[in-house]
Amino acid sequence: MSLTHEEDLPEPMAVTGTVKWFDPVKGFGFVLSDAGGVDILLHVNVLRNFGQSSVADGSRVELMAQQTDRGVQASEIRSIRPPVGVQTTLPDIAGLDREEIANSPLVAARIKWFDKGKGFGFANVFGNPEDVFVHMDVLRQSGLSDLSPGEAIAIRVIIGKRGRMAAEVHAWETVSSTDEHSSPD
């Protein structure tokens, strides 16, 4: 079923699609449904309810959509998967085994600052005073497009050529509480 007319969407409907673009400064973006039809508005508040403040262009999403007086809008995010094929150019991470990174623990952290224009920022892991470098490429690989100061995240930290750096970043709320690696210990 394509999402083209009001009568197509009388009740919220499960939709799978791809993020066309999302601008965290503007607070919205659009999703293209796999079924075709009109673009689906994705508001930052819907993302925040899922536990993220941004999403990378090209990410795959499962969501609930409904017709409103302003068009078809996402009302709930059910899952987000990072874009396929995003590669990092960071030498510290480019040569690493993805499975090895995935097996390292997720640790709780907060964003100290992040400048999307510069393409990097820093986080602080709870209980550790050392900064952790966070690069834009790592965000994109993780399905995020921006981070805000104070934002809670879960990261996998490696020791790179220039010190501690995030090799993977997740919005804190999306990390399963049953995952043994998600505790801030």
pLDDT tens string 26-82: 999 999 999 999 999 999 999 989 888 889 899 999 999 999 998 999 999 999 888
Query: In this structure, are residues 157 and 104 in contact, taking their beta carbons and an 8 Å threshold?
Result: yes
Q: Which CATH architecture has domain 6-81?
A: Beta Barrel (2.40)
Q: Is-above-0.95 flag for pTM?
A: no
pLDDT tens string 73-88: 999 999 988 887 666 6
Select the CATH number that applies to the domain covering 91-182 from these four: 1.10.3720.10, 3.90.220.20, 2.40.50.140, 2.60.260.20: 2.40.50.140
* Residue % of the chain over a pLDDT of 90: 45
> Domain residue spans in the chain?
6-81, 91-182
Query: In this structure, are residues 52 and 144 in contact, taking their beta carbons and an 8 Å threshold?
Result: yes
Angle at 144 between CA 139 and CA 147, to 5 degrees: 80
Q: Which residue has the higher pLDDT, 178 or 23?
A: 23
